[in-house]
């Protein structure tokens, strides 16, 4: 058993933000039929999203690829520097750097290469880049940091999570002439383009910090992966060539299978928690879920018998900032403490899920 303490949490968004209504009624109006516009405005459960593009400069009728106006490493570095400043730590105090990176800006080399150099981290710092774990990766970063501490890692671990999907879905959307409900692939691409916010979140983890804001016991992290023989087929996103030999982002997604699979895995995880600590789980009054859209959240809380009252903060955050991807777990821990929804030493719970599987973690407020 290893207790991992969170010294600080920082969340940074790009400077461009838009309401869902503004995107579908103004920027994308010529590309969407009326039925689609009304559907997304009424069913996403999201008011505003943050993007790495200035939409005022984009001609959505053209199919050219556009580089983002804000780079992922720009937000990674800002978040890292904010963490060091707020926690009053120095770059040499970081013994392990983990980046969670789901973006084509840095296929190779990993973003850790630039971050180590520009932050001035030690020459012997350990680095790890988690590529492609999508929305359920914070628990893996926690467990890897706990492993580092168990192996006598003397310094702290910095975790930076980047959720930036807009350039994938924007590029695909620009090539579609008209999105209608008849074409599920085009509709899924639009929905993913709309619901995701581009964001970077980070935290510094330590074995002990007197100024800690939260702690997580490694035994209070539960994980279920989709290990079925054909489980990997439910979702994929790859670089492909179209008929004009142009590289495109080709998404293949069975949203119904994904939702059902994730619901079953979340249910299994909750049973694990109940089996280990039923009384403790029943006392939890603040429970978060990955902000994957209103219908997805509604399905998970129904499937897992979670009260909407306990999950109220997740619905609120989703409305305010959209789907924050793998950052949503850090965002929830940060906001539940900031909004004083937990007393000191009270525990909260976060239910995480993505294309890979489902994780649940219990965290303790230390403020």
d(CA 255, CA 180): 17
d(CA 270, CA 224): 10
Residue 356 has pLDDT above 80, yes or no: no
Q: How far apart are the first and last CA of the chain?
A: 22
76 close to 161: Cβ distance less than 8 angstroms? no
pLDDT at residue number 158: 97
Q: Is 338 exposed, middle or buried (0-12, 13-18, 19+ CB in 10 A)?
A: exposed
pLDDT in tens, 199-208: 999 999 999 8
- The pTM of the full predicted model, rounded to 2 decimals, is 0.92
The DSSP code for 168 is H
Residue 332 has pLDDT above 90, yes or no: yes
What domains lie within the chain, and their CATH numbers? 3-216 (3.40.47.10), 219-365 (3.40.47.10)
The backbone torsions φ and ψ at residue 187, rounded to the nearest 5 degrees and listed phi first, read -65, -45
pLDDT at residue number 243: 67
117 close to 125: Cβ distance less than 8 angstroms? no
pLDDT in tens, 136-158: 788 889 999 999 998 877 899 99
User: pLDDT confidence of 253, banded at 50, 70, 90?
Assistant: confident
d(CA 239, CA 245): 12
pLDDT in tens, 104-146: 655 657 888 899 999 999 999 999 988 766 677 888 899 999 9
């Amino acid at each position: 058993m290893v207790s991992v303490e969170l010294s600080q949490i920082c969340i940074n968004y790009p400077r461009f933000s838009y309401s869902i209504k503004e995107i579908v009624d103004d920027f994308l109006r010529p590309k969407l039929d009326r039925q689609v516009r009304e559907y997304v405005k009424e069913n996403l459960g999201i008011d505003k999203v943050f993007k790495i593009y200035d939409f005022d400069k984009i001609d959505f009728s053209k199919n050219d690829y556009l580089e983002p106006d804000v780079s992922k490493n720009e937000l990674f570095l800002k978040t890292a520097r904010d963490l060091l400043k707020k926690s009053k730590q120095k770059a040499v105090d970081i013994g392990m750097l983990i980046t969670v990176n789901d973006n084509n800006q840095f296929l190779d080399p990993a973003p850790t290469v630039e971050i180590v150099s520009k932050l001035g981290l030690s020459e012997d710092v350990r680095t790890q880049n988690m590529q492609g774990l999508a929305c359920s990766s914070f628990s893996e970063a926690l467990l890897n940091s706990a492993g580092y501490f168990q192996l006598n890692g003397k310094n702290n671990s910095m975790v930076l999570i980047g959720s930036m999907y807009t350039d994938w879905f924007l590029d695909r959307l620009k090539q579609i002439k008209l999105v209608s409900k008849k074409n599920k692939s085009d509709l899924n691409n639009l929905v993913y383009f709309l619901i995701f916010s581009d964001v970077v979140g980070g935290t510094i983890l330590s074995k002990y910090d007197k100024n800690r804001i939260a702690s997580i016991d490694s035994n209070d992290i539960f994980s279920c992966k989709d290990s079925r023989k054909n489980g990997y087929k439910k979702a994929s996103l790859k670089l492909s060539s179209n008929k004009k030999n142009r590289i495109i982002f080709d998404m293949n997604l069975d949203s119904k299978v994904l939702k059902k699979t994730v619901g079953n895995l979340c249910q299994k995880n909750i049973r694990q928690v109940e089996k280990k600590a039923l009384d403790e789980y029943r006392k939890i009054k603040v429970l978060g879920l990955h902000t994957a859209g209103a219908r997805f959240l509604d399905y998970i809380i129904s499937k897992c018998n979670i009260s909407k009252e306990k999950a109220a903060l997740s619905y609120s955050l989703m409305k305010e900032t959209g789907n924050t991807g793998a950052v949503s777990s850090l965002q929830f821990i940060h906001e539940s403490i900031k909004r004083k929804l937990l007393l000191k030493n009270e525990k909260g719970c976060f239910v995480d899920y993505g294309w890979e599987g489902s994780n649940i973690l219990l965290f303790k407020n230390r403020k």
